[in-house]
Amino acid sequence: RHPLQPRREVRPARAGREAVPGQWLTVHGGKLHNLRNVTAQIPLGRLVAITGVSGSGKSTLARDVLLSNLLDAVGRSVLSSPAERRARKAVKESAPSAAERRSSVLARTSARPKFEVSHAWQGCDSISGWETIDRVLEVDQTPIGKTPRSCPATYIGVWDAIRRLFADTLEARARGYSASRFSFNTGEGRCPACEGQGVRTIGMSFLPDVKVPCDVCHGQRFNPETLAVTWRGRNIGEVLTMEIDEAVEFFGSITSISHPLQLMKDVGLGYLTLGQPSPTLSGGEAQRIKLVTELSKVRDDVTRRGQKAPHTLYVLDEPTVGLHMADVARLISVLHRLADAGHSVVVIEHDLDVIAEADWIIDLGPEGGVGGGTIVAAADPEALAKVAASHTGAALAPVLARGEGDASVADRKPAADRRAASSTGSR
């Protein structure tokens, strides 16, 4: 049944008027590849789907125009953007040297030159309304790491806190162990045979190399002295092999650890172990781990604006590729949580379940290649389903109608139950 939760309100600009910059992100005159001078308005703080047949210009608009330009204008960090750094460098190069300032009274007393940030928009005339965005991020299905040293615990940022817990135990203090002792990347605590990887690689000449558990530490990554230190009856090696479902309960009293782990459990990754090697993760698992990392920042981030979390624009290119239907439902819940936190989420998608959950849809087409590149419709899912020229709307209508049918059955069932109960009571 769609939508899974009430849609967030979107108030489009009236005909002949421009969208409010603080509420809308507008791409003016998109002309890259097959785009035909399109002007796309994207509501901020909402879940937006970019749809259309293959070759209609979805990726061109969302990634090649919107994402690439905003990565330059805003950047991935809240501290500065590439465009701002270029402007600062230009002002610094044009400023008088230190010797000139010392020799000239005027140079010493004059105000510092102000720098103006200019944007060379690529593939469009301009983009407006981006000033309220603090950072831009593309969340894809690329691996979170390429070696066994990278794992979910290190990526979501809980491993340092776990190491500090073990370093604060009485046994660790008596032995003089610091948090670095419980690192499997460096230090004296890791297994010397496998260097903290837990596995050893056997070269097979003309065949692919084979990884086998280390015969010294038996996959626990640490030496016996380090494994002798326990916290609540578990050593550091056993914690690495602990499933996230169990770890949520085990670290329940430590909020800084249990909160990110609970998010991992919520998105359906509770079956992973804390030390699961990154190369063994699928693309969908890696993508959800990245989204969990962003969700954990919603309340923890401290930016240049004080305690306010940064407004982030997330761009995802067909995130449902390779996912099971159950995983798609979990992905949708994560996207909703990001939008509920005030972030803007733009998804390029063919999956009708994701499209039906969007607050706003920009449908490109009507066909692919030279027959595409125009905006067929920009509306909420219910309105798009009524647009005759939209192929996406035609496919979306039965999905939404199925949800309405389920809802009507659910609404009728309590009434029937009440009638049955009243007749039983009268007898």
What's at 379, amino acid-wise?
A
Please classify residue 326 by burial: count the beta carbons closer than 10 Å to its beta carbon, then call 0-12 exposed, 13-18 middle and 19+ buried. exposed
230-251, pLDDT tens digit by residue? 999 999 999 999 999 999 999 9
For residue 97, is pLDDT > 80? no
Ramachandran quadrant class, 306 (left: phi over 0; alpha: psi -120 to 50; beta: rest): left
Q: Find all residues with CB under 8 Å of 307, minimum gap 6, and list them.
A: none
What's at 125, amino acid-wise?
D
**pLDDT band at 146; cut points 50, 70, 90:** confident
Work out the average pLDDT over 401-405.
Answer: 68
Judged by DSSP in three states, 40 sits in strand
Residue 317: name the closest of 66, 46, 77 by CA: 66
Top-level class of domain 152-280: mainly alpha
Residue 71: name the closest of 129, 119, 135 by CA: 135
For the chain, the structural domain boundaries read 24-81+117-142+311-409, 152-280
Task: Return the percentage of the chain with pLDDT > 90, whole number.
Answer: 62
Residue 344: name the closest of 39, 88, 135 by CA: 135
Look at residue 412 in the predicted model and tell me its pLDDT.
38
CB 199 within 8 A of CB 211: yes
4-41, pLDDT tens digit by residue? 889 999 988 766 566 665 689 999 999 999 999 999 99
Look at residue 74 in the predicted model and tell me its pLDDT.
87
For residue 173, is pLDDT > 50? yes
Average pLDDT, the chain: 85
Judged by DSSP in three states, 226 sits in helix
Cα separation, 59 vs 351, whole angstroms: 15
For residue 416, is pLDDT > 50? no
Token pair for 4: 């899974």
CB 334 within 8 A of CB 267: yes
What's at 136, amino acid-wise?
V
For residue 392, is pLDDT > 80? yes
Cα separation, 396 vs 273, whole angstroms: 38
What's at 150, amino acid-wise?
S
User: Superfamily for 24-81+117-142+311-409?
Assistant: P-loop containing nucleotide triphosphate hydrolases (3.40.50.300)
